[in-house]
Amino acid sequence: MEKLKFERPFIKKITTGLPAKFGMKNRIEVVNNIDGLPVEELMNDYGSPVFVISERTLRQTISEARLAFSTRYPLVQFAWSYKTNYLDAVCRVFHQEGSWAEVVSIFEYKKALQNGVPGAQIIFNGPDKSAEDLELAINNNSLIHIDHFDELYMLAELSKKTQKKSKVAIRVNMDTGIYPQWDRFGFNYENGEAWEALNRILLNQHLDLVGLHTHIGTYITSPSAYRTAASKLANLVVEIRNKYNHAIQYIDMGGGFASQNTLRGSYLQGYDAAPSFDEYADAISSALINSAIRPDSLPLLILETGRALVDNAGYLLTSVLANKRLADGRRATIIDAGVNILFTSFWYDHTISPTRFDNDHTEETTIYGPLCMNIDCIRPAIVLPLLKKGDRLVVQRVGAYNMTQWLQFITMRPNIVLIDTHGKTHLIRKGETVETIKQQEQLPKHLE
Amino acid sequence: MLKLNKNIAISDTGYVFDPSIGESYTLNPIGLEIVELLKANKTDNEIKSIILERYDVDDATFERYYIDFTGMLKNYQLAKDE
Amino acid sequence: MSRKPVTIAVTGLNNIDSPGPGIPVIRGLRESAFFEPRIVGLAYEKLEPGIFMHDLVDKTYMVPYPSEGSNALIERVLEIHRQEKIDVLIPNFDAELYAFMKSAEVLRKAGIATFLPTIAQFEERHKSNLPEYGERYGLDIPKSQAVGTLEELEKAVKEYDFPVMIKGKYYDAYIVQNLQQAQNYFFKISAKWGTPVIVQEYIIGTELNVTALGDGEGNTTGAVAMRKTYITDKGKAWGGITIDEPRLLDITNKVMQQTKWRGGMEIEMIKSNDKIYIIEINPRIPAWVYLAVGAGQNHPEALAKLALGMKVEPFESYEVGKMFVRYSYDMIVSIKELEKLTINGEL
C-alpha cells in the first residue's frame, strides 16, 4: 500500500474575538516561480539567500508610468533615482527606457557618467555637493538643484570663476496638506524663502534658472498632495515670467509615489492603499494644465520616482533554518536573510510567500533573521503554512532601497541575479566573500 | 506516558472542545489521528509505529514534529505526562 | 400588494456594547412593507451576535478582514454570491468601506448593487481633513491639528484652552484636562492607530446627531436628528430622542447638496451658544438608525431601493420625541453552531 503524504501534526486554538477592525490575518499566496523560472532552481544555482530582479517587471512598470503621464501631459521626462537602486544593470535598464539620472552624491554622479548618461541629463540633488563636485557638474552642463543658500553662493562664485553659466533649479518645500511636512530640504514656499532664493538667482548673471524642483515626501498615498504641490510650483512659474520675463524650462515633481508594500501598522494592504500611476498623473497634469501657465509655454515635467518603479521587480529568496517555540508556546521561524540585507523590514510588513501550500492549515509565526541580534526580526506576526527546515520562502517587493542601504554585518551580502526579458539569468552583483571584506582592511605592522 | 484529559470532546471534523476551561481548537487530519490514538491510551512508541506505517516519513522527522505537537497539547493543557 | 423578494447581504453583525449597525439595518429591512428580504449576514468574527439571531439573519458566512486585502474580501463575497444571488450589499464598517467602494464596479457587473460614496467623497470628510472640508463647504468645524511627535502635541495643545480632544486617525477620542493626560492618550492612540494623532479644540455644548441618506445627486432622501440621552463609558448612545432643530437639517441638506453624497451618513454636531459645529462625519448608517425607522423614516429600506435604482421620494418629516433605549440580551447558543461556523465558514 502506498503511504500517505506526511505533514506535521498541528493544533490551533480558535480565537473568538470580536471585530477589532484591526485584524492581523493574511491571505496565503504561493510564489513558486519568478518570470517562469522555478524558485527552487534559482536557489540551487545562486544560493540562499539571493536577490532576484525581474527585468520584465522593471520595463513593464516604467512603461506603465510613462503611459500614465504622457497621455495626460505633452512633455514628460523620467529621471532614475539612483539611491533607490544603483546597481549598474538596473540603472541601465532605466536609461535604455529613456530615463535620465537623478543623483544625490558625487558617488552616484560618477556612477551615472560611467553608465553613459550625458552630463546634461544628470540631475544633481541633495545637500552635500563640494566645490569640486559642483565644478564637475557645471562643466558637464548638469542640472544642479540648489538645496540651501550656502550652496547658492558657492555655486555663484564657482560659475564666476569658471566663466561658465550653471544650469540651476531650486528645491522648494511647502505645505501640501500632508503629514509630516518635509522642510529640511530646499527653500520654503509659504514663508517667502523660495522667492528670496529665486530673486538672487535671477539677478545673478552667472546662474541660469532652468527649473523648479520639489519632493514632498515619501510613500505619499494621497495624489491630491501632488496636485497642491504642482499648482504651487506653477504659480512660481507664472510669477517668475511676470516679474523677470524669464521662462522656466522644467518642473521636477521629485518622487515619493507609494509602492504596493504595506507599511507597518497600516490597516489596509499596500496594494489597496497605494494610488495608481494614473491617479498621480491625473493630479499632477491637471494641476499644471489648469494653472495660469500659458499653454504654449508649458514646462517639461520631470519625475524622479524610484520606489514605485523598482520595488515590485525585486524578490528576496530565502530558506527556513529552523522552527522553534517561544516561551509562551508561540511559533517562531528563523530564516537565512536578516534585517541587514532587508532594511525595509523596519518599516514594511513585507509579503512573504511560501513556494508551496499543500493543505489549508496555517499558523501564526514570527519570522526572525539569522543574526545573533535581538533586532533581527523580519515579521513580528505572519500567517504561513506549516514550515519545515529547508523550506523556501519568497519575500516580495524588495527592489527599492534594500540593495543600496544593506549592511555587511555579521554575514556577507548575497548574490543578485537579473532575469532578462527572455527568461535568462545573469549574475549582476557577486556575493561577497571573506576576501571582499578583508581587501579594504590594512593591518599595522606590529599586529601582523 | 502522555495522557489526554478525559473530558475532552473531539469531533470527527477535528474540532476539539475542552469543557474544563471552555476553549476550542482545530486539528489537521494527522493531528486528529494522533489525538485519537492518545485517547485510546496508545504509548508514544505505539503511536510512532502506527504513523510510520501509514505515512511517508522517517523516524527522526516524525519524532521532531511529534515532540513539538505534544508540546502544544501540554501547553494548551489538553494532555499531561503521567 | 405582495412584497418584492430580495436578497440583501449585510455586515456589522457585532451587536455588542459598542454596536455595529448591521442588526438595526436588518430590522429596518425586515419591517419594510415593500421588500420581502432574505438576509445574508457577512461576519468577520465568530462571536458576532447577529450570526446567532436566526429570526433576523437567514444565513451567515465568514468573510476575511479587509486588512487581508480587498481582493480576498471581494473574492469571498463573489463566491457567496454564486450560492446566494445577492441583490444588494450594505456594508456597515468604516474599515471595509474602502474595499467595497473600490470594487463597486466589479460587484455591479456581477449583479450585486451597492449604494456607496465615491472614494473622493469618503476621503475628504476624514477626520484629519475636516478643517479643509469646513472651509470648502462653508461649515463650522472645531479647530484641529494633526500631530506626530510629543513636541508637536505640546505645541498644539497649548494653542487651545483645556480641555482638548485627542483623537485617533480612525477611532477613539478622549477629552484631556492637562498636558500629561494628552501625552498619555497620544501614546495610547498612536500605538493603536498610528500617527498622526488629532488634537482638536473642545467645544462646550450639546452633542446632536443626524442620520441621513443622500441620493448621490445632491438631494437628501431622509434625515432624522436626535440627542443622545445616555452615553456609555465608550461614548456610545444607550438612549436617544428625536429632536426638532431645523438648523441641523439645513446643515445636513447643505452637506448633501454640495458633496452630492451617495448613501448613508451620520453627522455628529455640537450646538454651542448659537453656533452649530460639525465634529465628525461618518460615511455610513449609524447603529442608532432604528430610531429613524421608529420615527417614520425607514432609511435601510430607502437605501436598498436606491441601490436597486428605484426612485425614492424624500421623506418630508419624522416624529419628534420618539426615544430609543438600548438593552443587552443573552442568547443561548450550542457549541455545535460554533463548530459548524469554524469548520465550514458558514451557518
Structure confidence by residue, pLDDT tens digits, A111-164:
999 999 999 999 999 999 999 999 999 999 999 999 999 999 999 999 999 889
Cβ of A18 and C68 within 8 Å? no
Read off the pLDDT of residues C143-181 as tens digits, 9 standing for 90 and up.
888 888 888 888 888 888 888 989 887 677 888 988 888
What are the residues of chain B with a beta carbon less than 8 Å away from any beta carbon of chain C?
11, 13-15, 17, 24, 26
Listed by start position, the domains of chain A span 33-52+313-434, 55-311
Domain count, chain B: 1
> Searching chain A, which residue's CA lies closest to the CA of residue C42?
A19
Q: Please tell me if residue C111 touches chain A, with a CB cutoff of 8 Å.
A: no
How confident is the model at residue A181, as a pLDDT? 78
ipTM of this predicted structure: 0.83
> Searching chain B, which residue's CA lies closest to the CA of residue C46?
B24
Of A18, A180, A266, the CB nearest to C47: A18
> Searching chain A, which residue's CA lies closest to the CA of residue C103?
A272
CA distance B15 to chain C (A): 7
Top CATH class, C143-201: alpha beta
> Searching chain C, which residue's CA lies closest to the CA of residue B14?
C343
- Low-confidence residues of chain B: pLDDT under 50: none
Are the beta carbons of A310 and A303 closer than 8 angstroms? no
> Searching chain B, which residue's CA lies closest to the CA of residue A11?
B27
Average pLDDT over residues A359-377: 86
Structural domain boundaries, residue B27: 2-81
Query: Is 3.40.50.80 the CATH classification of the domain at A55-311?
Result: no
Residue A176, pLDDT > 90, answer no
Tell me the chain B residues in contact with residue C335 when contact means C-beta distances shorter than 8 Å: 17, 24
Cβ of B26 and C343 within 8 Å? yes
Tell me the chain B residues in contact with residue A16 when contact means C-beta distances shorter than 8 Å: 24
Read off the pLDDT of residues C113-153 as tens digits, 9 standing for 90 and up.
999 999 888 888 877 678 888 888 888 888 888 888 888 88
Tell me the chain A residues in contact with residue C148 when contact means C-beta distances shorter than 8 Å: 179-180
CA distance B11 to chain C (A): 9
Top CATH class, A33-52+313-434: mainly beta
Residue A345, pLDDT > 90, answer yes
Residue A23, pLDDT > 50, answer no
Indicate the CATH number for domain C4-115+330-344: 3.40.50.20
Residue C24, pLDDT > 70, answer yes
Q: Please tell me if residue A7 touches chain B, with a CB cutoff of 8 Å.
A: yes
Average pLDDT over residues A326-355: 91
Selected for mutation to probe chain B from A3, A5, A7, A8 (highest B CB count within 10 Å) is A8
Residue A193, pLDDT > 50, answer yes
Stretch(es) of chain C classified as CATH 3.30.470.20 = 121-125+204-325
How confident is the model at residue A18, as a pLDDT? 45
Top CATH class, C121-125+204-325: alpha beta
Tell me the chain B residues in contact with residue A12 when contact means C-beta distances shorter than 8 Å: 25-27
What chains are in contact with C, requiring at least 3 Cβ pairs below 8 Å? A, B
